[in-house]
A and B are shown apart, each in its own frame.
Chain A
Amino acid sequence: MTEIFGVPTQALWGQLMIGLVNGSFYAMLSLGLAVIFGMLNVVNFAHGAFYMMGAFFSWMLLNLLGIGYWWSLLLAPIGVALVGIVIEKTMLRWLYQLDHLYGLLLTFGIALIIEGVFRDQYGVSGQPYDLPEIFKGAFDLGFMMLPKYRAWVIVACLTICFATWFVIERTRLGSYLRAGTENPKLVQAFGINVPLMVTLTYAFGVGLAGLAGVLAAPVYQVNPLMGSNIVIVVFAVVVIGGMGSILGAILTGIALGLIEGLTKVFYPEASATVVFIIMAIVLLIRPAGLFGREK
């Protein structure tokens, strides 16, 4: 078997693949966080909880209602987005004039509630989500086996991320959004319903997290704790990338997933901490983040 630095290439490619899958999820989540922060000035601590909620909705659709994977790709994120709308309308709305810290604290509380409810219902053990028939098996790429579902996750995540980037940076709707981020009062004076836009932005951001959850359900087990485990890593990703740039959030997410994968091959002990170590280094060299603007 061929080896690189004493590591079999099979293992290396395999871990890089897993890293790419994780990185895709980081990218989708930090993208949603960045969009929400841009418009609402709220760091959405509940982002991980919505991701977990998406995975659970998808699991419930399949196991309670018999609705399969493809429909849940559409329905579960919509369900999550509806929950998001309720939360924005009833709670977050009252905090926009206050210090940003209150938004973080409120969403932290919401995350605890959501996580607690699911833990009360399902315990902490994972629920497996059966793969749809079409995704079983793997492609043989010659140098490695590529499980079909993983390939699909990467393609789907990247497509969604770049579609989001395109909508925000290149379309009329996106230009309203960017204008609203810069100066909401002026945009409102031009006759655009800014409060509605804010609500829909939040719904979109958490819906994106929900969609990531649906995609993640068959890869990892569906578990009430899956959200809080990932959200802290995503925070570190956001600190590294800076929340100013959509493309920056996507690229940083994927890059960190890959680095994590590489660390698992060459120095597994550090794989859980490598993202945080990179964050510390970035803080030393570029305190505003790789793509951030110093305010």
Chain B
Amino acid sequence: MSKSSKIFYIVLLLGALVAPFIGYPIFLMKVLSFALFACAFNLLIGFTGLLSFGHAMFFGGAAYLCAYAAKAWGLTPELAVLFGSVGAAILGYFVGWLAVRRQGIYFAMVSLALSQMVYFICVQAPFTGAEDGLQNVPRGKLFGLVSLADDTTMYYFVLAVFIFGFWLIYRTIHSPFGQVLKSIRENEPRALSLGYDVDKYKLVAFVISAGLAGMAGALKSLSLGLATLTDVTWQMSGEVVLMTLLGGMGTILGPVVGAASIVTMQNYLASLGSWVTIIMGIIFVVCVLAFRRGIVGEIAHRLKK
């Protein structure tokens, strides 16, 4: 990491530490959860070249698992988040195992279809509370000691988990493993001919991404205190695509910027009802037609010139 980017990350960290004294902690926690979700998604689309159109199944699935573990079994928050993440990673293993059999556009359709299946299972399963979802999820005590009932305390817990997830993605991208992923993105047949077991690499990337998306969902359900069907719908899968696209696919910070922009927009425009969907559609169209680098990608491109 260069010196200037080190300073940049330290400034960001300081900003994140003082943020709850300036903004609403609940809102910030939502932003952080979605930012982690988008970063996890970006590991696939941006660094492996796989478009998963079903990431909501990991996000929403883990939200349910975490909420259930915290509510029904009284698990401490760190264990509940871990439980949700591991559950999502296991689901990711099976989904990835099926989906890597097909490439490109078919991969997207397979992941979307499997995620819709998970949605229907969540509608019918006895422990998800159907239309009501799981409400009043207790935040519990961190390690059984520190109560997270206070929003600011909870925020720092969410921030810590986010930084862990972000660091894991950063390390993955910059490892030899990450270099192989990028070579798959750039030229899959060549990576194959160089002797890499492409499908295995894709599967591992998929499992990491699914686990972290699950971690994001678990954080969201703990900080907002509820897990609902909304988190598992295909619209949610679309939202994370949009966040990543808007922020910049294949950039490290892009998904964070994209998630913050979309969550902020949804927050301010919530009263407009269906117009939120229309605006999101318009952003999609504009990004694809004229703004494919995304916000961060565009800035990086300008700086390089």
Asked if residues B281 and A101 are in contact (CB atoms below 8 Å), the reply is no
Show 29 A/B contacts (Cβ-Cβ < 8 Å), sorted by A. A43-B105, A95-B288, A95-B289, A101-B104, A104-B53, A104-B108, A105-B245, A108-B241, A109-B284, A109-B285, A110-B285, A112-B238, A112-B280, A113-B281, A114-B281, A116-B276, A117-B274, A117-B278, A120-B273, A120-B275, A233-B116, A235-B113, A236-B113, A239-B113, A272-B124, A276-B113, A276-B114, A276-B117, A277-B117
Chain A residues 5-57 with CB under 8 Å of chain B are: 43
Contacts of A269 on B, CB cut-off 8 Å?
124
Q: Which of B108, B123, B274, B284 is in CB contact (< 8 Å) with A120?
A: B274
Contacts of B123 on A, CB cut-off 8 Å?
272
Asked if residues A102 and B124 are in contact (CB atoms below 8 Å), the reply is no
Asked if residues B109 and A280 are in contact (CB atoms below 8 Å), the reply is no
Contacts of B104 on A, CB cut-off 8 Å?
100-101
A61 to B79, CA, bound (A): 57
Interface size on A, residues (CB 8 A): 40
Q: Which residues of B are in contact with A by a Cβ distance under 8 Å? A: 51, 53, 98-99, 101-102, 104-106, 108-110, 112-114, 116-117, 120-121, 123-124, 234, 238, 241, 245, 273-278, 280-285, 287-289, 292
Contacts of A238 on B, CB cut-off 8 Å?
109
Contacts of B124 on A, CB cut-off 8 Å?
269, 272
Contacts of A104 on B, CB cut-off 8 Å?
51, 53, 105, 108
A293 to B113, CA, bound (A): 21
Contacts of B282 on A, CB cut-off 8 Å?
109, 113
Asked if residues A91 and B273 are in contact (CB atoms below 8 Å), the reply is no
A232 to B109, CA, bound (A): 8
Smallest distance from the beta carbon of A49 to chain B beta carbons, Å? Answer: 10
Contacts of B112 on A, CB cut-off 8 Å?
232, 235
Interchain pairs with CB closer than 8 A, number: 117
Q: Which of B116, B241, B275 has the most CB of A within 10 A?
A: B116
**A193 at interface by CB-CB < 8 Å:** no
**A144 at interface by CB-CB < 8 Å:** no
A235 to B47, CA, bound (A): 25
Q: Which of A94, A100, A112, A287 is in CB contact (< 8 Å) with B101?
A: A287
Smallest distance from the beta carbon of B18 to chain A beta carbons, Å? Answer: 36
Asked if residues A120 and B278 are in contact (CB atoms below 8 Å), the reply is yes
Contacts of B121 on A, CB cut-off 8 Å?
273
Q: Which of B101, B106, B275, B284 is in CB contact (< 8 Å) with A105?
A: B284
A113 to B98, CA, bound (A): 31
Contacts of B98 on A, CB cut-off 8 Å?
280, 283-284
A103 to B291, CA, bound (A): 14
Which 3 pairs across A and B sit closest by C-beta, in order of nearness? A109-B284, A112-B281, A113-B281
Contacts of A102 on B, CB cut-off 8 Å?
288, 292
Contacts of B274 on A, CB cut-off 8 Å?
116-117, 119-120
Q: Given A91-B289, A101-B104, does the pair A116, B117 have CB atoms closer than 8 Å?
A: no
Asked if residues B105 and A108 are in contact (CB atoms below 8 Å), the reply is no
Asked if residues B289 and A106 are in contact (CB atoms below 8 Å), the reply is yes
Contacts of B287 on A, CB cut-off 8 Å?
105, 109
A100 to B288, CA, bound (A): 12
Since A94-B289, A102-B292, A283-B99 are in contact, a sample of 20 more A-B pairs with Cβ atoms closer than 8 Å, ordered by chain A residue number, is A43-B109, A95-B288, A100-B105, A101-B105, A102-B288, A109-B281, A112-B280, A112-B281, A112-B284, A116-B278, A120-B278, A233-B116, A235-B113, A236-B109, A239-B106, A272-B124, A273-B117, A277-B117, A280-B114, A283-B102
**A161 at interface by CB-CB < 8 Å:** no
A116 to B278, CA, bound (A): 5
Q: Given A101-B108, A102-B288, A238-B109, does the pair A112, B277 have CB atoms closer than 8 Å?
A: yes
Contacts of B280 on A, CB cut-off 8 Å?
109, 112
Smallest distance from the beta carbon of B53 to chain A beta carbons, Å? Answer: 8
Query: Chain A residue with minimal CB distance to B245?
Result: A105
Smallest distance from the beta carbon of A30 to chain B beta carbons, Å? Answer: 11
Asked if residues B275 and A101 are in contact (CB atoms below 8 Å), the reply is no
Asked if residues B110 and A239 are in contact (CB atoms below 8 Å), the reply is yes
Smallest distance from the beta carbon of B57 to chain A beta carbons, Å? Answer: 11
Smallest distance from the beta carbon of B224 to chain A beta carbons, Å? Answer: 24
A109 to B287, CA, bound (A): 10
Asked if residues A228 and B234 are in contact (CB atoms below 8 Å), the reply is yes
A269 to B121, CA, bound (A): 9
Contacts of A276 on B, CB cut-off 8 Å?
113-114, 116-117
Query: Chain A residue with minimal CB distance to B124?
Result: A269
Chain A residues 79-120 with CB under 8 Å of chain B are: 91, 94-95, 100-102, 104-106, 108-117, 119-120
Contacts of A94 on B, CB cut-off 8 Å?
289
A104 to B106, CA, bound (A): 11
